[in-house]
Structure formats: structure tokens, C-alpha cells
Amino acid sequence: MELTRRSSFFRHVAQTSPAPDGFEVSRGEGIYLFDKDGNGYIDCISGIAVASMGHSHPRIITAIKKQLDLHLHTMVYGEHIQAPQVALAEKLAQLLPDQLNCCFFTSSGAEAVEGALKLAKKITLRYEIIACRNAYHGSTAGAESLRSDLSYTGSSRPLVPGVRHIHYNTFEDINQINMDTAAVIIEPIQGEAGVIVPAPGYLQAIRDRCDQTCTLLIFDEIQTGMGRTGAMWAFEQEGVVPDILLLAKAFGGGLPLGAFISSQKMMSVLSHDPILGHLTTFGGHPLCCAAGLEAINILVENNLPEKASLFEKIIRKRLGPHPALSVIRGRGLMLAFELKNPEHLFPAVKACRQEGLLVDWFLFNDRSLRLALPLIISEEEVNMVCEKLNLALDSL
């Protein structure tokens, strides 16, 4: 049976790489994923920053079951009043600056990106979009067009026109933002480049230039949001507020949910000229919204962003001196461990697996390990992860 399931996986489930991980999950609980033999592994990447509340959190499961007994999908997004959507939208408005008070729910981060780009073009009546090199915003046609790497986009051409790229943290490139630019889309911390933190004043300089040119600023917080970097939203740590905010990944509490958020005035342009000009069928699904709201409640009630900052300090203290590492980058529990020898990357991933840790790497950085621990992790468990990481690195 197990052999049949594995062979069926490779035969009938479309693959995204020639050699998928192949870890067969039997169940998840807390910070652990268990394989088919019942062996537990610490999920050190939270399903790429999705399972911030861990796996099968009892409060989230209860919220899902409660909504499950009421109703599932009823109508395309934006027509019926559904209590989980309204409650989640209200909660977001409470936690965000006043000008970010209206959200459009989606099913994924890429869909949130697409909606934000359409919104920016409709508001500004401009078509040019500026994105950063080595950024990843999704794999749908518009989001894919934001990528700078031809090795990824070459087979998808022609791309959506009007995209220009600047270098992250390069102040001179900011002047490329001009009166033809509809929006700048940028991550407050670059994820797939290997967790690149903005230079002091960089995001403020982007904000200032956008204001000068009447360009909209889009912050992609799909990875950085929901407490991951030590604040509820990463933009709070820079004191810079975007015109449009993107959420997904951990936002759904483990279920597929995204959003693009702006002011009610800006979002109102989507409702006319033409009406129904931007739609989604499953965006804001009631199960997902119920799970997402409970995830936010858990996050806030337990001060998890503050704990993420504390645990970052522990990790840096215990692993920073390791001779195999050149630097640890990031904030909170969004970290990259850069190896001195890039040839050790995949052996390090394998060594971590042998120690019972699931780690990963990055799309645009070939020498760094990704660490994005569940935010519900305890201090004792963080120290255990550090011990196991040290042992894995010692073996290289």
C-alpha cells in the first residue's frame, strides 16, 4: 500500500521539481510533523511560514469545526454577508493603521498580488510596476512577471509588460520611480533572496519617492506578516505604512487564505467601471476566515511576536559562533543561516533531517538554510532545536 501511494504520488500528482522531498506525512501536532512510521520531526520552516500556530492547534481546529456545522461556500466573494469574513475584516482594521481599513479576501498570496496590481493601475491610470530583483511574489502570470530571473520566466514569455526592476537596498535605484509608475511592490524583508533585511532608512526613502511621484506603495507581507519578524507586521519595525498591504501564508491559520488591504476609498474603485471587474469564487472561504481569525487571536493573546524576538536572540547566541556559518540574517523567527561553503547546503539539509529537523533553502540564495520556526514554540524547544542544529552543522 505504501509503495503504491508513493508511486502514485510521482505518477499522478504534478511535480514541481525533478526530485521532490518525498517526506510522507501521517499527521501533525504542535511543532512536529510525523512520517508514515510515526517518527516525529520538528517543522523548522512552518510549511514555508504557513503553520505559524503549529500543526492541528486545538483552538483553530475547534473554530473550523464550529463553522463546518454552519455552512461552507454560499456565493462568490462580496455578495453574501458571512460572519467569519466580517469578523476577520473587523479584526484586521483594529490591528492596522487607519488607512488600511478595507480588505479583499483571496485564496492565496499570488491572487492577492494580482488584485493589488489591478487596483494600483485602476487608481493611478498608469501601467508601469516596479519590483525588486531576486523577489518572489507568486507564480501566476502577473506575479511571475515581477520576477527578475530569466531562468524562471524565460519559458513563460511573453510576460505582462511594464515591469521594471530595481536592486533591493540600493538607494540610487529609487530614482527610477517616476510619474509613469503605478506602484512599487516590495517585501519589507526579502524572503527568497535569503532573508535580506532593509538598510536603515531604505523603506522610508521608497515611501518618500512614492509620495513625490504619486505612486502607490505595496508591501508584500505574505511571509513577514502575522508576527513572524517580531512585530505583528514587519512594516511597523520600519515606521513606514504602505498604501496596499498583502497577506497570506500564516494568515489562514493553516488554510488557504490571502488578502490585499487598502483604504475603503481606494478599494471602492473595484466596485464600478465596470461592476464585478475583479472577482474571486473561493476567496474569503468561511472555514479559512474562521481559522484565520482564531490564529490572530492566539497570536495577540500570547504575545507571540514578542516571543519571536526573544527566541531570535537565543538562536543567534547559540548558533552565531558556529564555524560552519558566516552570518545569520533576519528578524524574529524569519532567519537565514549562511554557510561558509555553499557546497555544504544540501548535506546540511540532510544532516538536519537525520537530527529530526525539517529545514529548507531559498529560491535565490544557494548557500543559506531557511529557519522559520512555528511561533508557538517554547523556549525549551528552541534550545532543543539549537542543540540539534549545532550537531548537524558539526557533521559537515
3 pLDDT more than 80: no
> Are 19 and 47 spatial neighbours (Cβ–Cβ below 8 Å)?
no
The percent of residues in the chain predicted with pLDDT above 90, rounded, is 90
Residue range of the domain that includes 360: 303-396
Instruction: Place 6 in a pLDDT band, splitting at 50, 70 and 90.
Output: confident
**pLDDT at residue 28, rounded to an integer:** 97
Report residue 100 CA to chain centroid gap: 19
Residue 40, CB-side half-sphere exposure with 13 Å CA sphere = 7
- Cell numbers given for 239: 515606521
Tell whether the model's pLDDT for residue 154 goes beyond 80.
Answer: no
User: Among residues 204, 286, 307, 223, which one has the least CA distance to residue 48?
Assistant: 223
Do residues 373 and 274 share a domain? no
Both 171 and 187 in one domain: the answer is yes
Reported confidence tier of residue 2, pLDDT bands at 50, 70, 90: low
Domain count along the chain:
3
- From 234, 266, 301, give the residue that closes a domain: 301
The whole-angstrom separation of Cα 41 and Cα 34 is 6
What pLDDT band is residue 159 in, cutting at 50, 70 and 90? confident
Range 78-85 average pLDDT: 95
Whole-angstrom CA distances from 42 to 253, 309, 320, 362 are 18, 20, 21, 19
Question: Do 286 and 315 share a structural domain?
Answer: no
Residue 115 lies in a domain: yes
Could you tell me the three cell numbers for 58? 486545538
Residue 56 counted as domain residue: no
> If you search the block for the grid coordinates 510515526, which residue do you land on?
38
> Residue 169 domain-assigned?
yes
Per-residue pLDDT of 16-25, as tens digits, reads 888 888 889 9
Last residue of a domain, one of 266, 282, 301: 301
pLDDT digits (tens, 9 = 90+) for 274-318: 998 899 999 999 999 999 999 999 999 999 999 999 999 999 999
Mean pLDDT on 151-174: 91
Residue 157 pLDDT > 90: no
Give 48-69 pLDDT, tens digit per residue.
999 999 999 999 999 999 999 9
Same domain (yes/no): 32, 149: no
Kindly calculate the radius of gyration of the chain based on its CA atoms and give it in whole angstroms. 21
The pTM of this model reads: 0.96
Residue 47 maps to a domain = no
The one-character DSSP state at 214 is: T
Residues 6+ apart with CB under 8 A from 93: 100, 101, 102
* Whether residue 114 is found in the same domain as residue 8: no
Does the pLDDT value for residue 227 go beyond 90? yes
In this structure, how many other beta carbons lie within 10 angstroms of the beta carbon of residue 185? 26
Average pLDDT of every residue of the chain: 96
Residue for grid cell 506575479: 143
**How confident is the model over 306-363, as pLDDT tens digits?**
999 999 999 999 999 999 999 999 999 999 999 999 999 999 999 999 999 999 999 9
Q: Nearest 5°: CA angle at 161, between 155 and 167?
A: 85
Is residue 155 predicted with pLDDT exceeding 90? no
Residues 323 and 251 in one domain: no
Is residue 332 located within the same domain as residue 287?
no
Tell which residue, 128, 178, 167, 156, has the closest CA to residue 145: 156
Q: What is the pLDDT of residues 168-186, one digit of tens each?
A: 999 999 999 999 999 999 9
Give the pLDDT score at 92: 98
How high is the pLDDT of residue 17? 85
Whether 80 and 104 map to the same domain: the answer is: yes
- Cα–Cα distance between 43 and 30 in angstroms, integer? 9
Q: Which of 373, 391, 376, 235 lies closest to 322, judged by CA? A: 391
Q: Which three cell numbers stand for residue 288?
A: 479559512
Mean pLDDT across 132-146: 94
Cβ count near 377 (within 10 Å):
24
Looking at the structure, do residues 319 and 258 belong to the same domain, yes or no?
no
The reported pLDDT for the residue numbered 1 is 58
How do the residues of the chain divide into helix, strand and coil, expressed in percent and rounded to 5?
40, 20, 40
pLDDT of residue 65: 98
Specify the pLDDT at position 378: 98
Residue 54 falls inside a structural domain: no
DSSP state of 262: E
Query: Residue 234's pLDDT band (boundaries 50, 70, 90)?
Result: very high
Is 70 exceeded by the pLDDT of residue 203? yes
CATH number of the CATH domain containing 179? 3.40.640.10
pLDDT > 70 in the chain, percent: 99
**SS3 of 18-70:** CCCCCCCEEEEEECEEEECCCCEEEECCHHHHCCCCCECCHHHHHHHHHHHCC
Segment 35-43 long-range contacts (CB within 8 Å, at least 24 positions apart): 36/2, 39/356, 40/356, 41/353, 41/356, 41/357, 41/358, 42/356, 42/357, 42/358, 42/381, 42/384, 42/385, 42/388, 43/358, 43/374
